[in-house]
Amino acid sequence: MKILLIVDSQPVFTGFIPSFEEACKELNAEMTFFIVDGDKSYEAQRIKLKNIICEENPNKLLCINDFCQNGNFLIDKEITQLTSCYIWFVDSMHLMKNFDYTLPFYSGISSFEPTDTTLSRKYNVPIQYVPVTAGKGLFCMNQTEEEKIYDVSFVGLVAGSKKRINVLNKIAEYCKLNNKKMICYGHFWHNSHWFQNIIGAFKFKRKYPILYSYVINKRISPKECASLYKRTKINLNIHIPQHSGFNCRTFEILGNENFELCDEQDNREIHFKNRKNIVFYHNADEAVRLLDYYLKHPEERKHIASEGAKFVNSKYKFVNSLKRVLDL
């Protein structure tokens, strides 16, 4: 079987490629990739994609999110007539454009966001919930104990997220007061230009002086993420308010037997057990209290981390998610 994967060129999306490659090997399937450049016109890219489909004759085409430029969709009706096309939304459909034109052409539609399934009636197409789980090689096979360098860490996009800033700032204040080691990687302020970076850092430091001392304003690779999780006592997960389901980081942290402190999401589909295989908090103050408790109870923390790994690695393998998305 041949599968053609369509992904955006941004690192947050190309970072999924190793997980897809591993899953395809488990399925004895051949996977090729088409990387979409969002800064360039879709017209030429669509022609190139059609030529690839005609030359390689894939059995299935899988899009990670839809691709639209000013109402111009990359995947048109002609492409969906060349091969069976599937789509897996890793951002909420509620935050995207109108899909009246494209969705009926797909053979299968999946989303990592549970509330997206309610759009089935609006677009008159079936939409299934499929979480984006963790790739095996990086996030599910290193359960050896490593030296914990940090007491707490966070990785993610923070700029523009009041919720994430609020939680991280509270925890930073706790860490400073209690002499704990904290580190945060991600996009905290704009830094595409050197002057923009200077101004952004200055404004952030002035507004959040304590949190600033724990921030490294850069994105890190999936491999670096996996290493950081292993070297952290408590890995913090903070979802954005627009999502009700669990993000892929939820599974990436747990897979290698790491302890996760996570804001509780819609748990009706996943069935995590609070304080058994993950620990949930509901506001910044509770996050601080739980952080303090589990830093003082390492054996309990280690047991929960172990149970978390068993849970996600037995029930939520990436290859199983891919099978559901592609109707295999």
Q: Classify residue 327: in a domain, yes or no.
A: no
Number of domains in the chain: 2
- How does pLDDT run across 83-138, given as a tens digit for each residue? 999 999 998 888 876 666 788 899 999 999 999 999 998 888 999 999 999 888 88
pLDDT band for position 24 (50/70/90)? very high
Please indicate, yes or no, whether residues 150 and 201 belong to a single structural domain of this protein.
yes
In CATH, what number is assigned to the domain containing residue 41? Answer: 3.40.50.2300
Does residue 215 contact residue 171 with C-beta atoms inside 8 Å? Answer: no
- How does pLDDT run across 244-298, given as a tens digit for each residue? 999 999 999 999 999 999 999 999 889 999 999 999 999 999 999 999 999 999 9
Please indicate, yes or no, whether residues 57 and 188 belong to a single structural domain of this protein.
no
Q: What is the mean pLDDT of residues 44-72?
A: 93
pLDDT in the model for residue 98: 67
Strands (DSSP E) found in 78-207: 84-89, 108-111, 128-129, 150-155, 182-185
Please, what is the Cα angle at 277 between 273 and 282, to 5 degrees?
Answer: 60
Please indicate, yes or no, whether residues 43 and 8 belong to a single structural domain of this protein.
yes
% pLDDT > 90, the chain: 77
d(CA 250, CA 241): 15
Q: Classify residue 322: in a domain, yes or no.
A: no
Please, what is the Cα angle at 239 between 220 and 317, to 5 degrees?
Answer: 70
Q: Classify residue 328: in a domain, yes or no.
A: no
Q: Classify residue 95: in a domain, yes or no.
A: yes
Last residue of a domain, one of 83, 110, 130: 130
Q: What is the mean pLDDT of residues 196-216?
A: 94
Q: What is the mean pLDDT of residues 143-169?
A: 91
Does residue 171 contact residue 163 with C-beta atoms inside 8 Å? Answer: no
Please indicate, yes or no, whether residues 295 and 186 belong to a single structural domain of this protein.
yes
Please indicate, yes or no, whether residues 82 and 179 belong to a single structural domain of this protein.
no
Q: What is the mean pLDDT of residues 24-30?
A: 95
Q: What is the mean pLDDT of residues 137-157?
A: 86
